[in-house]
Chain A
């Protein structure tokens, strides 16, 4: 019963991640892609934790989720810092 529930929840979150993937592929600007990747990262953390409970190895998977949260945060900061310096191609935003 609980397992089915966790599986359903994880699948729903995966479907949501696919929706965000549309934003990553479609753009239009690089900032949209960064936001999309960040969102997928956050959803992945939730999926990892749920997977841990599905497999009965929650104590192992929560560590992975914590690490993933750290990397997701640092990655978003590094990317936004980089494009803050470099500047974004605004014309690609106009041609939506």
Chain B
């Protein structure tokens, strides 16, 4: 159980770090949101479930899983809201062809 938890946490940390690197490297708002929205969601999800595995069957684990579910629902919604704001205010998407 502990080993599984640590593996999950390591995976989560890996995705969180990759998401941050993507934030820096990607060329425009929309592509950055891909990195932010996906990697962060899965990263924190994995850290939470990993810690829940590490704790075993106690109340804290249930709370951790509730927090994970909450992030799973809200994070894409927040990403979508920000993307919508960018689109409504006329930010154009970066294309590979337009920047050659």
Contacts and interface: CB of A to CB of B under 8 A. Distances in A.
Contact between A and B in the complex (any CB pair below 8 Å): yes
Interface of A: 2, 5-6, 9, 12-13, 15-17, 19-20, 22-23, 29, 31-32, 34-36, 38-39, 42-43, 45-46, 49-50, 53, 58-59, 62-63, 65-66, 69-70, 72-73, 76-77, 79-81, 83-84, 86-88, 90, 93
A73 B13 CA distance: 21
Contacts of A46: 12, 16, 43-44, 47-48
B60 A84 contact: no
Interface of B: 2, 6, 9-10, 12-13, 16-17, 19-21, 23-24, 29, 32-33, 36, 40-41, 43-44, 47-48, 51, 54-55, 59-60, 63-64, 66-67, 70-71, 74-75, 77-79, 81-82, 84-86, 88-91
A6 B24 CA distance: 26
B81 A81 contact: yes
Contacts of A66: 63, 66-67, 70
B75 A42 contact: yes
A22 B66 CA distance: 31
Given A35-B32, A43-B16, A69 B60 contact: no
